Chain A
């Protein structure tokens, strides 16, 4: 009886989570604009979507921004994690650690508004007439900043776990400190670096609040476009777009899960073999 109850509960949770998404996916294949009746299967909305220049530009912008900000935040974040690890003073270490976590704890809306003010001030100070001319740069800085703590959070435990012994071995064998980092440390913390990058990518991909405050008129991302369209009536081509985004995110998630599953499986087998 208890077993059934827990199963029913689990199904209920999944139903609440996924029925809205599945409905959206279903209606993206509808052949009419109706949101109440599924009248027949068609790819009409997908075709329409791919012919919609605005959506395409927004998608392109989103991807450019996600790729560049995730790369940038991964580089800066990994360097920062290494720097935090190297700090001698425990007090300073904790302080820096907390400070880097602030953008993560901060409500997005606060981060967004503060970025807006910051860039407005910057534009005024530098005497730039047109905000659009630094628009992409502003978006890149904002996205990189809010992704940064997630990268640090993902890399720092790896560095701590790896410890100093491999680096010392590399130095002992003739590496300069820089070579030791790139030839020995980086390959061994790579899983953490990559998962930080994937996390940064997905965060940048679906950010709306911060982009809303920072975006210039000439650089619109998908979430912003979708939002602007919801002000009018939502057309099923947006369902199609959302379906594509969901499938992309799901695929990324599954890939990273399979990777970490394989890894833990390997570790378990090794431990079993030793025992």
Chain B
């Protein structure tokens, strides 16, 4: 697939504060790409720069190989679905969707046909004459999508479009959006802070934090092979432990030497070790690689969420079997479940579940470091 949009060294500051810092990214034709990150990470600003509502301070933006950094929004073949829909309250559903076609002075029959087809696609046939203010949130969302798609843009930007909907509706709309994207085959650039939404819809996820791209990859890559502590913590739940890589496929952490599947590190390099809570098996203490004391157990429906204290570090474990609080248990971890990451500026900031525990007296980092 060809590169459709390319960002080269884009930077943007507001009042002297850098929101995006030297961003490089390309987006392929026809892909569903998600910019994912916490609020204030620069994802919406990136989207607004692509849409033409903000101008970058530095860097350039290319569309189909042509630089469009200075092209105003109304001349770009890019349409947007806004967070709060931004439907025109003075127009009814039909006229809202017909708006871009009327601007281009299309003949009345063509407008009618295209609006009718579009309404059918978003399952709103028969809503033509309704006032947009009488529609529910989900219906307004569909009108906004129909309006953005009717002039056949090459790219659709979606700025947290499902943020205002309730959970059930959000799931339905996620499927619907994905279906629409596959049916018309155009590029969707989606902004969200919801990692589940990103994982279930995207072809590619761009994880952002502090105005920088942390990782670009497919949902499975991002989940299974996070690049640093930030990504590991932001996408799903993670136990992130300080460790040492003794040699390829041998890692030592929490006072035990584990077999793992990663390599390519220097001898005795300090690393971050990620273990997903669902990948830890609870076993008898004598059979465990690690032994710890359960500090809290929470029932979550599908599983129990167990916090275990192992040498002062609180692990989160998800298990379908009940374990009594205060019990001493053993943990068993498969080599495939251990993911090794290089140290980054986010090391030590994430992945400890101490705040989940009732016990507030934590051992200092120095104490745990000696235990390797």
Contacts and interface: CB of A to CB of B under 8 A. Distances in A.
Interface string B66-102: 0000001110001110101011111000000001100
A166 B80 CA distance: 12
Contact of A179 (B52, B87, B103): B103
A179 B75 CA distance: 13
B104 interface: yes
A52 interface: no
Interface string A30-43: 00000000000000
A109 interface: no
A173 B151 contact: yes
B103 A165 contact: no
Interface residues of A, number: 18
A177 B256 CA distance: 66
A177 B87 CA distance: 17
A184 B88 contact: yes
Nearest to A162: B89
A2 interface: no
B90 A173 contact: no
Contact of A172 (B80, B87, B90): B80
B372 interface: no
Interface string A163-180: 001101111111111011
B103 A173 contact: yes
A170 B147 CA distance: 11
B329 to A, nearest CB: 49
B82 A169 contact: yes
A172 B151 CA distance: 11
B104 A174 contact: yes
Given A165-B86, A187-B90, A172 B133 contact: no
Contact of B88 (A168, A169, A179, A270): A169
B103 A174 contact: yes
B235 to A, nearest CB: 30
A176 B74 contact: yes
B90 A174 contact: no
A175 B80 contact: no
A86 to B, nearest CB: 14
B79 A172 contact: yes
Given A173-B147, A174-B151, A187-B90, A168 B84 contact: no
A250 B184 CA distance: 59
Given A179-B103, A188-B89, A270-B133, A172 B73 contact: yes
A174 B84 contact: no
Contact of A168 (B78, B86, B90, B133): B86
Given A173-B79, A188-B89, A168 B53 contact: yes
27 contacts: A165-B86, A166-B88, A168-B80, A169-B82, A169-B86, A170-B88, A170-B99, A171-B52, A172-B74, A172-B78, A172-B79, A172-B80, A173-B79, A173-B99, A173-B100, A173-B103, A173-B148, A174-B100, A174-B103, A174-B104, A176-B74, A177-B74, A179-B103, A184-B90, A187-B90, A188-B88, A188-B90
Interface of A: 165-166, 168-177, 179-180, 184, 187-188, 270
Which 3 A/B pairs are nearest by Cβ-Cβ distance?
Answer: A169-B86, A187-B90, A173-B100
